[in-house]
Amino acid sequence: MSGSAYHHGDLRRALVDAAFVAARSEGPEGVSIRELARRVGVSHNAAYRHFAHRDELLVEVSGLAMQALVDAMEERLARVDETDGVLRARRRLAEIGRAYVSFALGEPGLFRVAFSSHPEMDQTSLSALAVRPYTLLGEALDGLVEVGFLSPSARVEAEMTCWSAVHGFALLNGNPLRDLPAEERELALDRVLAAIDRSYAATTGSVITPGDVFAVA
């Protein structure tokens, strides 16, 4: 493919698409403007007209990776068909956690790109990328308050508690615990999510039935 095959704007899209494929298999380390230019069949000078440096391209790819995470979360949330309000709210929060871990382990390259940070990268842009996943988590937590399962006082900054727990679990299972059998991993994740669930129930004195949301309780 030659550079003359591109019209204005097409090359930028082609570079982003190629970078996404590279990041998916190799993580942020796979994103190289010179190498991507070679893959799409143009000179690196042509590529640099669209991206002054690698970090600009990484921001674009990070956005796509973050959107893929959001899609995974929304797909899981759409499966929750529980009619009981409290159970529905609890299961929605659990499914967000499961989606996050599943994405991290199933798409390790994209997961690392989604949360990658580099010295020249615009931190405001990076923060904006995480807004939608954070919003979905916040909506799930608000749902727990609305049904009386989580107290308003315990709701304050609860996103950070939940995110830290599942992110830490994902990192542990992506490296030191990567050989853990899938069934054991699912049970371990259930224990983490059940611990969060129990702690929230305690804020309102809610009575929970073992096994109504998790395989372990």
In degrees rounded to 5, what are phi and psi of residue 118?
A: -135, 155
| Residue 10: pLDDT over 90 | no
Structure tokens at 144: 């727990």
Closest to 212 measured CA to CA, from 81, 77, 86, 102: 86
Across the range 129-156, mean pLDDT stands at 92
For residue 136, count other CB atoms closer than 10 A to its CB: 20
Q: What's this model's pTM, rounded to 2 decimal places?
A: 0.87
Q: Which residues of 89-124 are buried (b: 16+ CB within 10 A; e: fewer)?
A: bbbbbbbbbbbbbbbbbebbbbbbbbbbeeeebeee
pLDDT for the residue numbered 121: 52
Contact 134, 75 (CB under 8 A): no
The confidence band for 212, taking pLDDT boundaries of 50, 70 and 90, is confident
pLDDT for the residue numbered 31: 92
Rg (CA), the chain: 21
Contact 48, 97 (CB under 8 A): no
* Domains recognised in the chain with CATH numbers: 1-52 (1.10.10), 63-217 (1.10.357.10)
Across the range 53-70, mean pLDDT stands at 90
How far is Cα of residue 141 from the mean position of the Cα atoms in its chain? 17
Q: What percent of the chain has pLDDT over 90?
A: 65
Structure tokens at 46: 């042509």
Q: What is d(CA 178, CA 188) in angstroms, rounded to the nearest whole number?
A: 13
Q: What is d(CA 64, CA 28) in angstroms, rounded to the nearest whole number?
A: 13
